[in-house]
Structure 1
Amino acid sequence: MGPALGYSRGGFSTKIHLLTDRQGLPLGAVLSAGQRHESAFFVDLMDEVLVPQPRGRPRKRPEAIAGDRAYDADWIRQWCADKGIESAIPVRENMRDGPGRPPT
């Protein structure tokens, strides 16, 4: 548990990154140091996912994900597209005035 401890604005802490289904039941979790950004652990969290199936082995990839603005990064959107995962991640406020269409 040593690497999952670190200093943040609130002091010495740990972050729990939790991925849930639409009912709020956990599908995967990762611990990190308090000062680390959420997006740095996106792939680690997605690798922990086990989506239960009515029969057989659990799936490793969800059909779709929804995240907050902390996950608004081109590489995350591309990773989801490469895996065939639909993503619903809002665009950060400071990124809306950029060139081109906003990401969907």
Structure 2
Amino acid sequence: MDGECLGRSRGGLTTKLHLAVDAAGLPLAVILTPGQAGGNPQLLPLLDEIREIDVDGQRVRVGRVLADKAYTHPSTRKALRERGIKATIPERADQIARRTAKGSAGGRPPAFDPDLYKPRNVVERCFNRLKQFRGLATRYAKRAAYHRAEIILACIILHLR
């Protein structure tokens, strides 16, 4: 982890935690990046970490991704389609404006079902459960490897509860 995953953002030097969770809100994959890093480039590496999940001896694959507007880039949608994964991601306002400004040449909007999107708060609740671990919330660990190890331990504790 080059640079110890520290980077400037609005709050100063920070680390961004990218998480993939299951429907029950349990973490499946974790990636650390510097605070100014965008979320969109981390989606596919997160999915690579959980390529196939083994649940009670059954192989389960990722069938649908619920993500916020940070992940709405057309290249991400295309990559998810190529992997056979359905995406429920709202469009950003600037993308909607650009598409409508082009008129009929702008194409049709990507499919988005607000009812399917409602359970996305499970991810935010997982972040909140992880922030209950004081060392994670304040990042006492100076090295990125130690901080990631703390996160993995907290994830294990969440799975054991």
TM-score range, shorter chain: 0.7 to 0.9
Matches within 5 A, 1:22-61: 22-49=23-50, 51-55=53-57, 59=60, 61=61
- Say whether residues 1:80 and 2:119 are aligned partners: no
SS in structure 2 at match of 1:96: helix
Distance 1:19 1:51 in 2: 12
> Greater relative contact order (Cα 8 A, min sep 6): structure 1 or 2?
2
Name the structure where strand makes up a greater proportion of residues.
Answer: 1
Name the structure where helix makes up a greater proportion of residues.
Answer: 2
Quote the residue 1:64 is aligned against: 64
Report the alpha carbon displacement of residue 24 of structure 1 after superposing the two structures with TM: 0.4
Aligned AA (2:45): D
- Say whether residues 1:103 and 2:134 are aligned partners: no
SS in structure 1 at match of 2:25: coil
Aligned AA (1:83): R
SS in structure 1 at match of 2:56: coil
SS in structure 1 at match of 2:54: coil
Structure 2 residues without counterparts, runs of 5 or longer: 100-105, 112-161
SS in structure 2 at match of 1:101: coil
Deviations 1:12-32 (A, max 9, x none): 010000010111001111000
Distance 2:43 2:49 in 1: 10
RMSD (Å), alpha carbons: 1.6
Q: Taking every aligned residue pair, what percent have the same amino acid on both sides?
A: 36
TM-score, normalisation: structure 2: 0.59
Report the alpha carbon displacement of residue 3 of structure 1 after superposing the two structures with TM: 3.9
Greater gyration radius: 2
Report the alpha carbon displacement of residue 63 of structure 1 after superposing the two structures with TM: 1.0
Count residues with an aligned counterpart: 102
Structure 1 residues without counterparts, runs of 5 or longer: none
Report the alpha carbon displacement of residue 51 of structure 1 after superposing the two structures with TM: 2.4
